[in-house]
C-alpha cells in the first residue's frame, strides 16, 4: 500500500508539471501518464529480444506501484552506460528475460512511498539505482538504492552521477587505496567513468593520471589527464618512457590483451582492476568471434608470479555489489562522500548529450561508436528531433513491430542536445 495523501499527491503533480514547464492538465495525465479506465500507463523503452538496435522500442506499459520498502519515482532523466549496450546484445552473464525495460540509474521526484519507508517525503528530488526498468517515466525501487540530491544538482547531472562516480570512487579508494603521489592508468578516459576517475584523482595531491582515448577526444579532455595517449597507440611504451617503473593503479574496462599489458605496467604493490570488457563488443549484435578473441588474448594469471612480483589483480562490478552481494550500506556511505565533494565543487558530472526516449537507438549508437565525452542521458521530457520522430514508434509491451527496412535510416543525422 502506498501512503499517498491527497494534498501531497496534488502538490507533487503540480511540481512535476512545473519542472516540465507545463500547466496542470484537467482530469490527470498532465504528468505524462495515460489512463485506460482505472489503469494508468506510462511510456517506457522496451528491449523485445537480444540483438541489434531494432530490438528497442518505445512502448506503453502499466505504471508500477511501490511495494513495502520501495519508493515510486517520477523519472526526469536516465543514464546510458556501456553495460546497457551489452545487455541489449545479451552479452552478459545471466541476461534478463525479455521483454524487459533496460537501465540501471535514474533521477526524478518521489511520487509515492511504500509501507515502512522512512527518511523520504513525497516531492523529494532523488537519484536511484534500479535493477533494470530505469528507462521509463515511472520506476519503483527499494529505499536502500535511493539518494537525495543537492538543490543545485540538475536532474541530468544526477542521472550521470551514481554509476560513474561510485564505480570510480570504490575502485580508487576502496580497492586500490589511492594516496598522495601515486599514478593511475585509466582506459576510455573520455567516457563517463574515465572522467569521474580523473576528477577524483585531482582531489588527492600529486596524483599522475595516464589516459587512453580516441584522438578526436584529446582536445576536450586534455586538461583532466596528465598524460594522454591514442587508444590505438602502444601505450605501454609511452607510459614506460615517462615512468620507467610503470604505474600504481591500472583501471581496465577493455579486457582482452589489455589485461597482460596492464599487469606488465604495474609497480610493485600495484593494483590492476578489471571493471568491464568492452573489447567484446565490435558489431551491432553479439559476436562469438569477438568474445573468443577477447578471452584468448587475456593473459592467464599465475598466482605464483603475482606473489613474486608483489602485484594485485582485482575485479569490480557495481551492479553485482548492489543487487547480488548486499552492499547497499557501503554504497550509501560512498554516495554521501561523493555528494560532499560535489557540494565542495571538487567534482561535477560531465554530460555529453541529452536524448529523448524516442531517440534511444541513436543514443546507443553513439555509445557503440565511442563518440561520447562523458555521459549520455535520456531526458524523459525532451521532445525528439523531427528526423528521429519519424523513426520512433510506440508499440505494444512486447515491443513487437516489423523489422526496420534496410536504408530507412540512411542520411539521417543524429541531433542530440549537446550541453
What's residue 369's pLDDT? Answer: 87
Give the separation between CA 356 and CA 388, rounded to whole angstroms.
Answer: 9
What's residue 50's pLDDT? Answer: 94
What's residue 370's pLDDT? Answer: 83
Partners of 418 in beta bridges:
353
* Nearest of 295, 268, 266 to residue 280 by alpha carbon: 295
Give the separation between CA 264 and CA 353, rounded to whole angstroms.
Answer: 36
Give the separation between CA 388 and CA 394, rounded to whole angstroms.
Answer: 13
What's residue 278's pLDDT? Answer: 57
Instruction: Please check whether residue 130 is in contact with residue 139, taking contact to mean a CB–CB distance below 8 angstroms.
Output: yes
Classified as helix, coil or strand, 17 is helix
Instruction: Look up the pTM and report it.
Output: 0.82
What separation in angstroms does the CA of 201 have from each of 17, 145, 185, 235, 320? 39, 26, 11, 20, 25
What's residue 137's pLDDT? Answer: 98
What's residue 336's pLDDT? Answer: 98
133 burial level (CB within 10 Å; 0-12, 13-18, 19+): buried
What's residue 39's pLDDT? Answer: 62
The fold adopted by the segment(s) 163-348 is Rossmann fold (3.40.50)
Give the separation between CA 147 and CA 129, rounded to whole angstroms.
Answer: 9
Superfamily designation of domain 41-157: Medium-chain alcohol dehydrogenases, catalytic domain (3.90.180.10)
Q: What is the pLDDT of residues 42-75, one digit of tens each?
A: 999 999 999 999 999 999 999 999 999 999 999 9
Instruction: Please check whether residue 264 is in contact with residue 198, taking contact to mean a CB–CB distance below 8 angstroms.
Output: no
Can you give the residue ranges of every domain in the chain? 41-157, 163-348
Q: How many CB atoms lie within 10 A of CB 356?
A: 22
Residue 101 has phi, psi (to 5 degrees) of -90, 120
Instruction: Please check whether residue 143 is in contact with residue 126, taking contact to mean a CB–CB distance below 8 angstroms.
Output: no
What's residue 385's pLDDT? Answer: 80
Instruction: Please check whether residue 134 is in contact with residue 325, taking contact to mean a CB–CB distance below 8 angstroms.
Output: no
What separation in angstroms does the CA of 2 have from each of 46, 120, 266, 372, 375? 26, 13, 53, 40, 33
* Nearest of 47, 39, 65, 33 to residue 140 by alpha carbon: 65
3-state helix, strand, coil in the chain (%, to 5): 35, 25, 40
What's residue 299's pLDDT? Answer: 63
Beta strands per DSSP E along 356-399: 375-379, 394-395
- Residues of the chain falling short of pLDDT 50: 1-30, 36-37, 281-282, 286-287, 289-297, 388-419
Map grid coordinates 539505482 to a residue.
129
Report which DSSP code applies to 96: P
Same topology, domains 41-157 and 163-348? Answer is no
And the C-alpha cell for 269?
A: 604493490
Amino acid at each position: 500500500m502506498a501512503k499517498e495523501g491527497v494534498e501531497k499527491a496534488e502538490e507533487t503533480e503540480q511540481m512535476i508539471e512545473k519542472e516540465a514547464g507545463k500547466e496542470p492538465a484537467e482530469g490527470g495525465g498532465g504528468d505524462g501518464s495515460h489512463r485506460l479506465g482505472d489503469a494508468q500507463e506510462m511510456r517506457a523503452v522496451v528491449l523485445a529480444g537480444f540483438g541489434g538496435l531494432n530490438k528497442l522500442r518505445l512502448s506503453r506499459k502499466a505504471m508500477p506501484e511501490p511495494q513495502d520498502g520501495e519508493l515510486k519515482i517520477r523519472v526526469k532523466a536516465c543514464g546510458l552506460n556501456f553495460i546497457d549496450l551489452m545487455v541489449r546484445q545479451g552479452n552478459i552473464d545471466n541476461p534478463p528475460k525479455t521483454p524487459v525495460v533496460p537501465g540501471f540509474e535514474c533521477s526524478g521526484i518521489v511520487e509515492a512511498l511504500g509501507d515502512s519507508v522512512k527518511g523520504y517525503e513525497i516531492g523529494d528530488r532523488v537519484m536511484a539505482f534500479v535493477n533494470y526498468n530505469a528507462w521509463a517515466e515511472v520506476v519503483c525501487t527499494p529505499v536502500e538504492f535511493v539518494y537525495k540530491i543537492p538543490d543545485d544538482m540538475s536532474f541530468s547531472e544526477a542521472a550521470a552521477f551514481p554509476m560513474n562516480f561510485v564505480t570510480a570512487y570504490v575502485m580508487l579508494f576502496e580497492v586500490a587505496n589511492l594516496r598522495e603521489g601515486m599514478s593511475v592508468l585509466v582506459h576510455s578516459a573520455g567516457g563517463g567513468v574515465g572522467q569521474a576517475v580523473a576528477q577524483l584523482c585531482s582531489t588527492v595531491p600529486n596524483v599522475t593520471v595516464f589516459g587512453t582515448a580516441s584522438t578526436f577526444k584529446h582536445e576536450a579532455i586534455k586538461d583532466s589527464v596528465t598524460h594522454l595517449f591514442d587508444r590505438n597507440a602502444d601505450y605501454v611504451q609511452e607510459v614506460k618512457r615517462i615512468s620507467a617503473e610503470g604505474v600504481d593503479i591500472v583501471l581496465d574496462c577493455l579486457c582482452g590483451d589489455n589485461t597482460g599489458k596492464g599487469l606488465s605496467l604495474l609497480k610493485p604493490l600495484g593494483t590492476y582492476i578489471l571493471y568491464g570488457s568492452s573489447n567484446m563488443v565490435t558489431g551491432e549484435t553479439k559476436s562469438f568471434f569477438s568474445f573468443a578473441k577477447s578471452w584468448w588474448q587475456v593473459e592467464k594469471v599465475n598466482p605464483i608470479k603475482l606473489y613474486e612480483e608483489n602485484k594485485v589483480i582485482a575485479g569490480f562490478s557495481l551492479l553485482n555489489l548492489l543487487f547480488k552481494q548486499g552492499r547497499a550500506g557501503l554504497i550509501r556511505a560512498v554516495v554521501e562522500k561523493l555528494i560532499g565533494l560535489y557540494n565542495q565543487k571538487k567534482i561535477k558530472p560531465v554530460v555529453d548529450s541529452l536524448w529523448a526516449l524516442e531517440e534511444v537507438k541513436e543514443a546507443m549508437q553513439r555509445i557503440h561508436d565511442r563518440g561520447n565525452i562523458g555521459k549520455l542521458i535520456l531526458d524523459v521530457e525532451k521532445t525528439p528531433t523531427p528526423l528521429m520522430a519519424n523513426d520512433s514508434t510506440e508499440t505494444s509491451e512486447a515491443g513487437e513491430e516489423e523489422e526496420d527496412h534496410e536504408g530507412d535510416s540512411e542520411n539521417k543525422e543524429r541531433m542530440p542536445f549537446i550541453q
